Amino acid sequence: MLKVTIDDISIEVPPGTTILQAARMIGQNVPPAMCYYSKLEGSGGKCRTCLVKVTKGSEKDPRPMPKLVASCRTGVMDGMEVRNETSPEVIDARKGVTEFLLINHPLDCPVCDQAGECKLQDLSYEHGLAKSRYEFKRREFEKRDIGDKIQLHMNRCILCYRCTQVADQLTPERVHGVLNRGEVSEISTYIEQAVDNDFSGNMIDVCPVGALTDKTFRFKSRVWFTKPMLAHRECTTCSGKVTLWFQGSEVLRVTTRKDKWNEAEAFICNDCRFEKKKTEDWTIDGPAHIDTHSVIAQNHLPFELPVVQKNLPDAL
């Protein structure tokens, strides 16, 4: 086991663990992650929000690392010492990264369906400037249609590559990707082909911002006004374990179940996500606990059950 100390808290972790993973194991002072996603192989290393300062490389070689490093891509060494929230340099760099991410991202939270569960919204509350210093024209993209269930708003994309990794790793063939380089990079389907496979809806759940949203839920409600319930059904394509988001007795949307890092516990199929919008399609397991440090946590405690519920276990 390797000993690592992050913001004066020590933990022993197995070889191969990254600094970010070790911080998540500790559960405190965890660097924000806009592109890393533990369920997606090869994710991370794109957004730089998870920068930390390594003040001691290892027991064998105690020299500090000369630059801040991406914690999602840097492996722990035995005896390593890391500063995250206790380093003014890291906080300053994170402010800079947030400012860069917001250069082209429109501040349309009042009309964006992702508001309340958007990682960039959280990041800008914590590290953003009240006013942009950018004076040039922002990137703008033509609207692209990527199918009848998923809405792409390229202007909001931060190019984290998570959605392309979902497509790569969950589906037999990928029909979208990142085109071009630099400021003109964009997510697009080649020749506007629809993203049409059984698991494409998971791109919505992994998108940290509102660039990919659920067309069947668009503009129906702010997420903090909905009531999330864990539910399951027999499904031959996926685990069938989901979160239902109720307004009264109506299921407004179906998503994966999320862990405390806002990552999907298990990916679900499009049939469960888009086609099973009736309460009777599901067996309700109980209220979903919203455990993320985000706007969505508002209005969800104390939890109230929706008015009409079928299949509720007796204990509820």
Enumerate binding residues for ligand FES (CB under 6 A). Answer: 33-36, 44-50, 70, 72
What minimum distance in Å lies between the beta carbon of 179 and ligand FES? 21
What minimum distance in Å lies between the beta carbon of 41 and ligand FES? 14
Q: Which is nearer to ligand SF4, 166 or 284 (CB)?
A: 166
Are 275 and 268 contacting, i.e. CB atoms less than 8 angstroms apart? no
Q: Which is nearer to ligand FES, 43 or 189 (CB)?
A: 43
Are 256 and 284 contacting, i.e. CB atoms less than 8 angstroms apart? no
3-class SS of residue 285: strand
* Backbone φ/ψ region at 45: left (φ over 0), alpha (ψ -120 to 50), beta: left
What minimum distance in Å lies between the beta carbon of 155 and ligand SF4? 10
What minimum distance in Å lies between the beta carbon of 39 and ligand FES? 14
Residue 4: phi and psi, rounded to 5, are -130, 145
What minimum distance in Å lies between the beta carbon of 311 and ligand FES? 39
Q: Which is nearer to ligand SF4, 32 or 208 (CB)?
A: 208
Q: Which is nearer to ligand FES, 4 or 35 (CB)?
A: 35
211 binds, among ligand FES, ligand SF4, none (CB under 5 to 8 A by kind): ligand SF4
Could you identify the residue written with the tokens 């070689």?
61
Q: Which is nearer to ligand SF4, 190 or 303 (CB)?
A: 190
Q: Which is nearer to ligand SF4, 157 or 296 (CB)?
A: 157
170 binds, among ligand SF4, ligand FES, none (CB under 5 to 8 A by kind): none
Q: Which residues lie near ligand SF4 (CB under 6 A)?
A: 157-163, 187, 206-209, 211-212
3-class SS of residue 111: helix
State which amino acid sits at residue 181. R
* Two structure tokens written together for 288: 């979903």
257 binds, among ligand SF4, ligand FES, none (CB under 5 to 8 A by kind): none
Distance (Å, whole) CA 295 – CA 236:
35
What minimum distance in Å lies between the beta carbon of 33 and ligand SF4? 12
Show the DSSP H helices in the chain as ranges: 19-26, 88-104, 119-127, 162-170, 202-206, 270
80 binds, among ligand SF4, ligand FES, none (CB under 5 to 8 A by kind): none
- β-strand 2-6 against 80-83: which pairing, if any? parallel
| Residue whose C-alpha is closest to residue 164's, from 143, 181, 186, 182 | 186
What minimum distance in Å lies between the beta carbon of 44 and ligand FES? 5
Provide DSSP, 138-178: PP-----B--SSEEE-GGG-----HHHHHHHHHSS---EEE
97 binds, among ligand FES, ligand SF4, none (CB under 5 to 8 A by kind): none
| Residue whose C-alpha is closest to residue 22's, from 63, 57, 58, 72 | 72
Q: Which is nearer to ligand SF4, 227 or 258 (CB)?
A: 258
4 binds, among ligand SF4, ligand FES, none (CB under 5 to 8 A by kind): none
What minimum distance in Å lies between the beta carbon of 238 and ligand SF4? 20
47 binds, among ligand FES, ligand SF4, none (CB under 5 to 8 A by kind): ligand FES
How many residues in the chain? 316
